[in-house]
């Protein structure tokens, strides 16, 4: 435990750039054995950044000659536009309100009705996945999440910033609440590229909106349990809608996984607002007293936690959607636990079982994995579509390992079931554990992390990477979460024992400690690790994913003031990293006050889709439509001007 507080001046004096680079390379080469081979202080020294340096100065990390990162790094930007590396083009696509059906039109004053919104692309784009049609790279289904609608809290009561037009205003009618409900959830959008330009196939039978009112089923071990029954649904299996759909996942059997994150924010009460009345579990999941800013509880009793105390138990799940069948019923897979799900990343274990890695995005919450009971069988749709209903959920414990202060260690997966004696005495059954996943994880000694966001699995090595975005409230440190008041975040990675995703133990290390080497810090760790330089400085890694070649793409959702702690970091951005050399280059920067999130590629890796969420969340952007227009979340399509693979 504890920070090593290595003297950075000594580091920069004693180690030249080449020495540091060689040390990194040596670690890469011997990576699977480095826990045994590398001395603690040497490893920590190699990991850490040198001191203060000017932009473009001599302290920049040595450039790799690897062909993996083939583009020229982009400087930080504070422009109200999307900026992308030289030789690439970024095109706005399918912003909020884009018609999926020809009988609606986008009304630029924000006056589309709830009924119209049901036929339009939703608000606040987040996780995204391209499902090719017949394996093609020029036609497919683009499926994405619409996480929430941007609000302002200037008056203490949150008004919707743009959903009802240019003047921030509350959801003070059933029609307005229903417009919000219809603006959230997911979109399935049939898209096609003709003469080089992608377009929505308006009126396609594939086009679908899944909203916060779409009927869906609870399946798996907790389905039908008393904890999931409400007055409207005595079966405990039929839910209306999905909310706060943040990151995503997909399966090799062509389904989309949408992840319910900050659903607690939609539950409030209009009953006796001065009396608490929340259960300990509701408090642990962050349901707050009184009314919410979204206002849904005033018009739909199910969002009132006093009127329907079990309704909130029906959110916080991973939902599996078949995008190719517009009549299919989405399924909330209870076997994967109930948390504030960020995203879901699958791997196939050595024996064919399916593993799903997941993070719970809350300060000091946990990283999980699910291991299916059954095996994935390529092409066996009937078998595969039930795999996420039966299996075992585990939570991660990250130990400091042989030494503290070296940003690496060992880890173990702790079973969350009635087989675990630490749970058997205090939980009534598996459903109780799954509905109260956080409480179960609290009870077994899981490691509290710095806000787990996305998880992704290296396509060749099965090495797993996860973003820990920041944690301003951290007071106790460990090797995996080595900074108090962590404002910059880090990326952790682990290698399962024997390379088997179903293993019960692993080795881990930090891939990058994000930071800002361009300003002075009291805690030298805030300069970041050695692969953070004046040229790529960033904070709050969030979205994360590999492309087919093994480039690691990093997206940020953090401080964008470009001053103080965030000086020289610019707007939120997308970077690309080499998993072996650990070099990181900035690839794209978003418009003002946005988050860059979600990423997916066509099979040929020549079209990249990302999402720009909440541009102008403080009122400072008119992207993408320009002056005088409402800012809109949108997808951005990135292509390489020479038609090549993105990033090459
Ligand atoms: Fe919706 Fe944790 O990001
Ligand atoms: Ca250690
Ligand atoms: Ca996120
Ligand atoms: Ca975030």
Top pLDDT among 86 and 29 is at 86
Sheet of 408-415, strands arranged across: 341-348, 353-360, 367-375, 391-398, 408-415, 505-513, 490-496, 464-468, 452-457
> In the chain, pLDDT over 90 holds for what percent of residues?
88
Model confidence band, residue 45 (pLDDT cutoffs 50, 70, 90): confident
Cβ of 595 below 6 Å from ligand 1:
no
Kindly report which listed range (65-79, 335-349, 615-629) carries the lowest average pLDDT score: 65-79
Report pTM.
0.93
Kindly report which listed range (72-86, 92-106, 260-274, 539-553) carries the lowest average pLDDT score: 260-274
Top pLDDT among 1 and 598 is at 598
Mean per-residue pLDDT, 592-606:
98
CA of 453 to the centre of ligand 1 (A): 6
b/e per residue 249-274 (b: at least 16 CB within 10 A): bbbebebbbbbbbbbbbbbbbbeeee
**In angstroms, how far apart are the furthest CA atoms of the chain?**
69
| Nearest atom within ligand 1 for CA of residue 261 | 1
Cβ of 335 below 6 Å from ligand 1:
no
Cβ of 361 below 6 Å from ligand 1:
yes
| Nearest atom within ligand 1 for CA of residue 340 | 2
Cβ of 246 below 6 Å from ligand 1:
yes
Look at phi and psi of residue 236 and say left if phi exceeds 0, alpha if psi is from -120 to 50, else beta.
left
Kindly report which listed range (2-11, 392-401, 596-605) carries the lowest average pLDDT score: 2-11
CA of 453 to the centre of ligand 4 (A): 7
Closest ligand (CA of 359): 1
Kindly report which listed range (7-11, 42-46, 232-236) carries the lowest average pLDDT score: 7-11
| Nearest partner of 594 among 73, 147, 139, 38, judged by Cα | 147
- Position 18 scores a pLDDT of 34
Cα–Cα distance for residue pair 148/613, rounded to 1 Å: 10
CA of 244 to the centre of ligand 1 (A): 9
Cβ of 260 below 6 Å from ligand 1:
no
Mean of per-residue pLDDT scores for the chain? 92
CA of 3 to the centre of ligand 3 (A): 27
Cα–Cα distance for residue pair 214/122, rounded to 1 Å: 14
pLDDT in tens, 131-163: 999 999 999 999 999 999 999 976 667 899 999
Model confidence band, residue 273 (pLDDT cutoffs 50, 70, 90): confident
pLDDT in tens, 422-469: 999 999 999 999 999 999 999 999 999 999 999 999 999 999 999 999
C-alpha 242, offset from chain centre: 16
CA of 382 to the centre of ligand 1 (A): 32
Mean per-residue pLDDT, 215-221:
98
| Nearest atom within ligand 1 for CA of residue 451 | 2
pLDDT at 40 over 70: no
| Nearest atom within ligand 1 for CA of residue 342 | 2
Q: Residue 507, SS3?
A: strand
Residue carrying structure tokens 């608000």: 123
CA of 230 to the centre of ligand 3 (A): 30
DSSP assignment string, 83-133: EE-TTEEEEEES-TT-BSSTT----TTS---HHHHTTB--SSEEEEEEEES
pLDDT in tens, 87-114: 999 999 999 999 999 999 999 999 999 9
Residue carrying structure tokens 């106790």: 476
Closest ligand (CA of 469): 4
Cα–Cα distance for residue pair 96/511, rounded to 1 Å: 35
As a residue count, the chain comes to 648
| Nearest atom within ligand 1 for CA of residue 361 | 2
Distances in Å between the Cα of 111 and the Cα atoms of 161, 165, 523, 629 are 13, 6, 50, 13
Strands (E), 444-572: 449-450, 452-457, 464-468, 490-496, 505-513, 541-546, 552-556
Cβ of 636 below 6 Å from ligand 1:
no
């Amino acid at each position: 435990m504890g920070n090593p507080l290595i003297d950075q001046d000594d580091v920069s004096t004693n180690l030249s750039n080449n020495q540091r680079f060689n040390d990194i390379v040596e670690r890469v080469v011997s990576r699977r054995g480095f826990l045994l081979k590398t001395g603690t202080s040497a490893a920590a020294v190699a990991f850490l950044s040198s001191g203060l340096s000017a932009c473009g100065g001599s302290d920049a990390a040595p450039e790799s000659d690897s062909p993996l990162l083939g583009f020229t790094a982009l400087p930080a930007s504070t422009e109200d536009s999307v900026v992308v590396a030289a030789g690439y083009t970024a095109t706005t696509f399918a912003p909020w309100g884009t018609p999926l059906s020809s009988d609606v039109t986008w009304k630029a004053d924000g006056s589309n009705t709830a009924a119209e919104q049901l036929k339009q692309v939703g608000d606040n784009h987040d996780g995204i996945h391209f499902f090719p049609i017949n394996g093609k790279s020029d036609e497919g289904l683009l499926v994405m999440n619409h996480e929430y609608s941007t609000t302002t809290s200037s008056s203490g009561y949150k008004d919707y910033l743009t959903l009802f037009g240019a003047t921030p205003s509350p959801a003070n009618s059933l029609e307005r609440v229903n417009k919000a409900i219809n603006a959230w959830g997911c979109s399935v959008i049939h898209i096609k590229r003709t003469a080089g330009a992608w377009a929505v196939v308006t009126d396609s039978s594939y086009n679908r909106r899944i909203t916060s009112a779409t009927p869906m089923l609870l399946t798996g071990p907790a389905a039908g349990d008393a904890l999931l029954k409400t007055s409207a649904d005595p079966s405990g299996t039929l839910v209306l809608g999905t909310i706060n759909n943040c990151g995503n996942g997909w399966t090799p059997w062509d389904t989309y996984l949408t992840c319910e994150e900050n659903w607690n924010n939609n539950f409030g009460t209009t009953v006796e607002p001065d009396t608490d009345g929340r259960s300990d579990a509701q408090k642990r999941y962050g349901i707050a007293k009184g009314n919410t800013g979204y206002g849904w509880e005033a018009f739909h009793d199910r969002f009132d936690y006093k009127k329907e105390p079990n309704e909130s138990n029906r959110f916080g799940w991973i939902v599996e959607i078949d995008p190719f069948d517009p009549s299919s019923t989405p399924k909330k897979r209870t076997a994967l636990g109930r948390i504030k799900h960020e995203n879901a990343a699958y791997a196939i274990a050595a024996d064919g079982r399916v593993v799903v890695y997941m993070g719970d995005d809350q300060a000091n919450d946990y990283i999980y994995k699910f291991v299916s009971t059954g095996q994935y069988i390529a092409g066996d749709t009937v078998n595969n579509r039930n795999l996420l209903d039966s299996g075992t959920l585990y939570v991660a414990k990250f130990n400091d390992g042989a030494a503290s202060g070296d940003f690496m260690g060992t880890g173990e997966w702790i079973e969350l079931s009635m087989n675990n004696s630490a749970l058997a005495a205090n939980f009534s059954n598996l459903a109780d554990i799954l509905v109260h996943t956080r409480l179960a994880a609290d009870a077994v000694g899981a490691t509290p992390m710095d806000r787990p966001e996305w998880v992704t699995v290296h396509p060749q090595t099965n090495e797993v990477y996860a973003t820990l975005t920041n944690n301003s409230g951290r007071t106790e440190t460990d090797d995996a979460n080595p900074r108090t008041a962590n404002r910059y975040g880090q990326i952790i990675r682990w290698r399962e024992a024997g390379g088997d995703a179903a293993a019960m133990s692993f080795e881990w290390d930090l891939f990058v400690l994000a930071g800002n080497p361009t300003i002075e810090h009291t805690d030298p760790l805030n300069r970041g690790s050695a692969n953070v330089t004046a040229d790529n400085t960033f904070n709050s890694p969030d979205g994360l994913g590999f492309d087919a070649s093994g480039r690691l793409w990093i997206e940020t959702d953090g401080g964008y003031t470009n001053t103080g702690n965030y000086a020289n970091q610019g707007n939120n951005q997308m970077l690309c990293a080499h998993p072996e050399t650990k070099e990181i280059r900035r690839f794209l920067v978003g418009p003002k006050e946005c988050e860059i999130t979600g990423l997916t590629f066509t099979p040929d890796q020549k079209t990249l889709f990302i999402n720009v969420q909440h541009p102008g969340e403080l009122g400072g952007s008119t992207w993408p439509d320009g002056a005088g227009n409402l800012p809109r979340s949108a997808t951005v399509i990135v292509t390489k001007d020479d038609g090549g693979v993105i990033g090459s």
